[in-house]
């Protein structure tokens, strides 16, 4: 029986070492993915609200670019500045060919009046389509409008001030929660 107790404690030690090794691996993967080496791996949905003080109540930011060739470069090189006080929304204007290839993307801060004309319009002469969408919220204009389903005026109840931040569950904590019952 004493031998059985040693085997059981040896099993627990191996499990703890395995859990520790897994946690270290998860932390490393998380760290390397957070500071990704490849520029194409940027996750624009994971943009955190700015830490600098807001210039006025309900301040917000939008991705901004003018006549960019594609959405990735528009979002990547967008100027990081607060929208003017007379704007409440983020506007995206997407021009593309009948084959879906983007020809021009403009994103900017917009007033309510600029957001009245959302939707898609096809120009028969040039065979190009223009889709316009507006959204409300901090950096809400990540995606491009491409059809009547997503070329809309979306009011999103996102946190618009930089004063608070939500807790984000991290992979190591999730790994421990998953592995804890196995111990």
pLDDT tens for residues 123-151?
Answer: 999 899 999 999 999 999 999 999 999 99
Ranges of each domain in the chain: 2-39+170-182, 50-155
pTM of the model: 0.59
CA distance 106 to 124: 21
CB 166 within 8 A of CB 159: yes
pLDDT tens for residues 8-27?
Answer: 555 555 555 555 555 544 44
CA distances from 146 to 1, 40, 55, 82, 129 (A): 70, 21, 33, 27, 9
CATH superfamily of 50-155: CD59 (2.10.60.10)
């Amino acid at each position: 029986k004493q031998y059985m107790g040693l085997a059981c404690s040896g099993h627990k030690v191996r499990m703890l070492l395995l859990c520790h090794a897994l946690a270290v691996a998860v932390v490393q993967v998380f760290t390397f993915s957070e500071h990704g080496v490849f520029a194409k791996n940027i996750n624009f949905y994971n943009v955190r609200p700015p830490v600098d003080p807001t210039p006025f109540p309900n301040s917000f930011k939008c991705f901004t670019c003018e006549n960019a060739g594609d959405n990735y470069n528009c979002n990547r090189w967008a100027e990081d500045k607060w929208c003017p006080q007379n704007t409440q929304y983020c506007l995206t204007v997407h021009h593309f060919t009948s084959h879906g290839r983007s020809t021009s993307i403009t994103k900017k801060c917009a007033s309510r009046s600029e957001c009245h004309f959302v939707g898609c319009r096809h120009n028969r002469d040039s065979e190009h389509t223009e889709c316009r969408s507006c959204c409300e919220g901090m950096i809400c204009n990540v995606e491009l409008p491409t059809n009547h389903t997503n070329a809309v005026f979306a009011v999103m109840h996102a946190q618009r001030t930089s004063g608070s931040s939500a807790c984000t569950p991290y992979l190591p904590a999730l790994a421990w929660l998953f592995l804890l019952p196995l111990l």
